């Protein structure tokens, strides 16, 4: 009889009392291998004492000051550290508490920037489907999650959606499809009217919504050219992919412009791995030229205020996490170990049961996904009623493995995948354990499938 209003209702949750490295331990002593870092958050592993010590040290000195009245040492140092990693000119950091908040503030920043320039007709946002950017109302508006949005539809903005680059489901045109080349963005801008579009927001590499899908090499060079041509701000949502998860500090670093130079978005959002789960913290990093426009404008700053922005203890935690990442070369390790992880997952899911429903195993760095389908040849998804991803995640948890599910990516309703994003510190032995548990969970899920689960999808597809 808990007094906690849980995020998921109707069933009891295990109570975790201890965590170390890649493992969680509940009150009964059961051990779980955290193969998704909670929610793709735990970048450096659980229980790193030097992070806790850095937070305690800062809390003893200065725990909180209001960001409108004072600055503080950890915030200044963290902003400088992020500016050094970001593309040239993208060097002013604004700190918040969650990825949703960072996206919300970024979209507001884009709007205010255009207003301060006298370009107030720019009210439209373009985003991608599948895609996810958060649960605050503006961030949710820009997300392609029908099952999240249904209740709140009357309160949400109408955001223009274009197809996300999704190689596994790119269709007969493959890399020539508008979503893959970037032409879908230009088509949407022309349809809306360039003078009315404020910003385009995208995850540089797919997060949970497309399961670690990687666009073609020239994709973002084209995106940057289109945004420049029409005066649209490009927001790179790196909340999930940033801070080394993909084997580069920023996922956008995997792509170059036509001259082989880094691609600079106008705004970057960070969260999750930036703080490693040790404190609620997110950031937006903006081009200095954008912020200078606000400084000269009517309001003298961003019209967006939150009590816990620019928090000293949270910033101290992130500084310590970044230091740990650099000390142990975890970005480079994610690139090399990620290749071994992906190979091991593919090998571990080659059994007769798993191979009958595993449509694709893909990934980059320490971010991998397994897409599950009713027919591996046609890529036909299971019906949503089968709740395959949820069943697999529950089965895996019973066996001591934590995975992250996603649904609806195939057609907006149907589609099942699980995301695998362990701490960047995972060892070869722990990777072997992860793959063994994953294979067993998939085989058990297949064995428990109702006999008509695949036929239901087939019949509905043909009836439709």
Rounded to an integer, what distance in angstroms lies between the CA atom of residue 167 and that of residue 216? 9
Q: With contact defined as beta carbons under 8 Å apart, do 193 and 232 qualify?
A: no
Residues in the chain: 464
Question: What pLDDT band is residue 56 in, cutting at 50, 70 and 90?
Answer: very high
Is the same domain home to 226 and 265?
Answer: yes
Question: What pLDDT band is residue 456 in, cutting at 50, 70 and 90?
Answer: low
Is the same domain home to 135 and 257?
Answer: yes
Residue 1 within any structural domain of the chain: no
Is the same domain home to 145 and 187?
Answer: yes
Residue 9 within any structural domain of the chain: no
Is the same domain home to 371 and 351?
Answer: yes
Residue 98 within any structural domain of the chain: yes
Q: What is the pLDDT of residues 324-366, one digit of tens each?
A: 999 999 999 999 999 999 999 999 999 999 999 999 999 999 9
Domain end (from 271, 303, 327): 327
Is the same domain home to 108 and 206?
Answer: yes
Quick check: 459 pLDDT over 50? no
Total structural domains in the chain? 2
Rounded to an integer, what distance in angstroms lies between the CA atom of residue 265 and that of residue 234? 5
Q: With contact defined as beta carbons under 8 Å apart, do 262 and 87 qualify?
A: yes
Lowest-pLDDT range of 29-33, 144-148, 244-248: 144-148
Residue 43 within any structural domain of the chain: no
Mean per-residue pLDDT over the chain, rounded: 95
Residues facing residue 127 across a β-bridge? 161
Quick check: 46 pLDDT over 80? yes
Domain end (from 307, 327, 347): 327
Is the same domain home to 30 and 75?
Answer: no
The CATH number of the domain holding residue 431 is 3.90.1150.10
Residue 42 within any structural domain of the chain: no
Is the same domain home to 209 and 272?
Answer: yes
Is the same domain home to 156 and 141?
Answer: yes
Q: What is the pLDDT of residues 260-273, one digit of tens each?
A: 999 999 999 999 99
Quick check: 192 pLDDT over 90? yes
Contacts of residue 65, Cβ cutoff 8 Å, sequence gap at least 6: 71, 72, 312
Place of tokens 């310590």: 320
Domain end (from 262, 296, 327): 327
Is the same domain home to 23 and 127?
Answer: no
Q: At how many degrees (to 10) do helices 288-295 and 99-116 cross? A: 60
Residue 45 within any structural domain of the chain: no
Question: What pLDDT band is residue 464 in, cutting at 50, 70 and 90?
Answer: very low
Concatenated DSSP letters of 404-444: EEEE-TTTSS--EEEEE---TT--HHHHHHHHHHHHHHHHH
Residue 8 within any structural domain of the chain: no
Concatenated DSSP letters of 239-273: TTTTTTTTSSSSGGGG-B-TTSPBP--SEEEE-GG
The CATH number of the domain holding residue 178 is 3.40.640.10
Is the same domain home to 172 and 308?
Answer: yes
Residue 178 within any structural domain of the chain: yes
Is the same domain home to 298 and 159?
Answer: yes
- Give the domain extent around 260: 50-327
Is the same domain home to 258 and 389?
Answer: no
């Amino acid at each position: 009889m808990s007094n906690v209003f849980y995020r998921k209702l109707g069933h009891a949750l295990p109570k975790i009392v201890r965590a170390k490295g890649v493992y969680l331990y509940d009150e009964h002593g059961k051990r779980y291998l955290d193969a998704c870092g909670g929610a793709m958050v735990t970048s450096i592993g659980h229980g790193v004492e030097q992070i806790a010590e850095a937070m305690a040290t800062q809390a003893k000195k200065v725990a909180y000051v209001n960001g409108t009245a004072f600055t503080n040492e950890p915030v200044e140092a963290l902003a400088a550290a992020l500016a050094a990693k970001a593309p040239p000119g993208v060097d002013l950091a604004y700190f918040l508490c969650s990825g949703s908040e960072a996206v919300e503030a970024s979209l507001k920043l884009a709007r205010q920037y255009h207003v301060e320039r006298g370009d107030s007709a720019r009210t439209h946002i373009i985003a991608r489907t599948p895609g996810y950017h958060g649960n605050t109302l503006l961030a949710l508006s820009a997300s392609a999650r029908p099952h999240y949005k249904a209740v709140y539809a009357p309160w949400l903005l109408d955001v223009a959606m274009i197809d996300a680059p999704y190689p596994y489901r790119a269709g007969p045109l493959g890399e020539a499809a508008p979503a893959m080349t970037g032409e879908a963005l230009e088509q949407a801008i022309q349809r809306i009217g360039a003078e009315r579009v404020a910003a385009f927001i995208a995850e540089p590499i797919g997060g949970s919504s497309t399961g670690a899908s990687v666009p073609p090499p020239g994709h973002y060079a084209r995106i940057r050219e289109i945004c420049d041509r029409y005066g649209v701000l490009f927001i790179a949502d790196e909340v999930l992919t940033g801070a080394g998860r993909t084997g580069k500090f920023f996922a956008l670093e995997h792509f170059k412009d036509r001259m082989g130079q880094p691609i600079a978005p106008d705004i970057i959002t960070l969260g999750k791995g930036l703080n490693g789960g040790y404190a609620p913290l997110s950031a937006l990093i903006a081009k200095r030229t954008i912020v200078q426009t606000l400084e000269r404008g009517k309001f003298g700053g961003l019209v967006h205020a939150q009590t816990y922005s620019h928090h000293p203890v949270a910033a101290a935690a992130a500084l310590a996490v970044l230091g740990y990442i650099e000390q142990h070369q975890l970005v480079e390790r994610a690139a090399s170990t990620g290749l071994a992880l992906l190979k091991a997952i593919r090998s571990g899911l080659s059994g007769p049961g798993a191979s009958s429903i595993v449509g694709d195993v893909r990934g980059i760095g320490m971010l991998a996904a397994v897409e599950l389908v009713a027919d591996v040849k046609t890529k036909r998804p299971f019906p949503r009623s089968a709740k395959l991803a949820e069943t697999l995640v529950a089965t895996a948890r019973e066996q001591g493995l934590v995975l992250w599910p996603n649904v609806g990516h195939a057609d907006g309703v149907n589609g099942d995948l699980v995301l695998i994003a362990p701490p960047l510190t995972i060892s070869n032995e722990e990777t072997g354990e992860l793959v063994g548990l994953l294979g067993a969970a998939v085989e058990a899920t297949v064995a428990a499938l109702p006999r008509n689960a695949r036929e239901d999808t087939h019949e509905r597809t043909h009836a439709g």
